[in-house]
């Protein structure tokens, strides 16, 4: 029984930290300890940590390494970097691609628990309603994300303590919907369709919770 409890605890920890491993983090060898999120005597709870004079070259180097973006987006990314010294924009884009696949596949298989881990409450509720409607109609989807052709940051902002980043994703999706008898009523797995989405992720950088959550979805 003790072994089973330990295994369940490890699984729960893995799920809770999955987005942490794929969104906006870079594990650097020898990285110095980060000041606790709530220990911000200069600005109070939730204020971004001040950038010391000797940190300026490091921050400047990270800004030069930003992905291509409009000036307004670059400013937002710089603000997020100042608030979260471990944030890496290139790593975030890679993580957004992984999160896009994870969330779509959870939605297609009707995994409400997985969606609750990856999305904020309102978005998870929206996905849940769509799953319920699908189930009520006796329909089953057999969708496949063929490839992600593009993922680009199109908006970024920081309003303490919330960091907010929107990513435009262009992907090819093969989609099939079957009725209760298994008969195909829409779509084809042989013909992928291009989809364009803008997904927005948010994170409270003053919180010890490291997860970025899907906060909004829109057509791109």
Distances (CA, A) of 118 to 30, 55, 102, 104: 29, 33, 8, 11
Bridge-based pairing of strands 140-141 and 213-219 is unpaired
pLDDT at 9: 44
Query: Stretch 183-210: mean pLDDT, rounded?
Result: 91
Distances (CA, A) of 189 to 60, 68, 149, 171: 47, 34, 18, 15
Q: Is pLDDT at 17 greater than 80 in this prediction?
A: no
pLDDT tens string 120-147:
999 999 999 999 999 999 999 999 999 9
Question: pTM to 2 decimals?
Answer: 0.72
What is the Cα–Cα distance from 155 to 178, expressed in whole angstroms? 37
- Whether 111 and 132 have beta carbons less than 8 Å apart is answered as no
pLDDT at 120: 96
- Both tokens of 167, joined, read 């990513």
The ranges assigned to domains in the chain are 53-219
Multiple choice CATH, 53-219, 3.80.10.10, 3.30.750.24, 3.10.450.240, 2.40.50.140: 3.10.450.240
**pLDDT > 70: percent of the chain:** 70
Q: Which of 156, 212, 186, 208 is nearest to 40 (CA)?
A: 208
pLDDT tens string 19-47:
444 454 444 444 433 333 323 333 332 33
């Amino acid at each position: 029984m003790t072994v089973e409890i330990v295994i369940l605890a490890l699984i729960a920890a893995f799920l809770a930290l999955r987005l942490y491993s794929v969104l906006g983090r870079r594990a650097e060898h020898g990285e110095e300890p980060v000041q606790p999120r709530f220990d911000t005597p200069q600005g109070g709870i939730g204020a971004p940590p001040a950038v010391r004079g000797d940190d300026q070259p490091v921050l400047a180097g990270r800004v030069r390494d930003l992905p291509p973006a409009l000036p307004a987006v670059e400013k937002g990314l710089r603000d997020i970097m100042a608030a979260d010294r471990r944030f890496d924009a290139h790593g975030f884009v890679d993580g957004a691609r992984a999160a896009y696949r994870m969330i779509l596949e959870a939605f297609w298989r009707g995994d409400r628990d997985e969606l609750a881990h990856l999305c904020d409450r309102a978005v998870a509720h929206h996905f849940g309603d769509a799953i319920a409607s699908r189930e009520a109609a006796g329909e089953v989807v057999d969708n496949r994300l063929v490839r992600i052709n593009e993922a680009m940051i199109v908006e970024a902002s920081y309003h303490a303590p919330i960091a907010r980043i929107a990513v435009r994703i262009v992907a090819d999706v093969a989609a099939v919907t079957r009725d209760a008898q298994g008969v195909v009523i829409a779509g084809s797995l042989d013909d992928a369709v291009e989809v364009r989405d803008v997904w927005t992720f948010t994170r409270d950088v003053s919180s010890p919770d490291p997860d970025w959550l899907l906060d909004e979805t829109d057509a791109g």
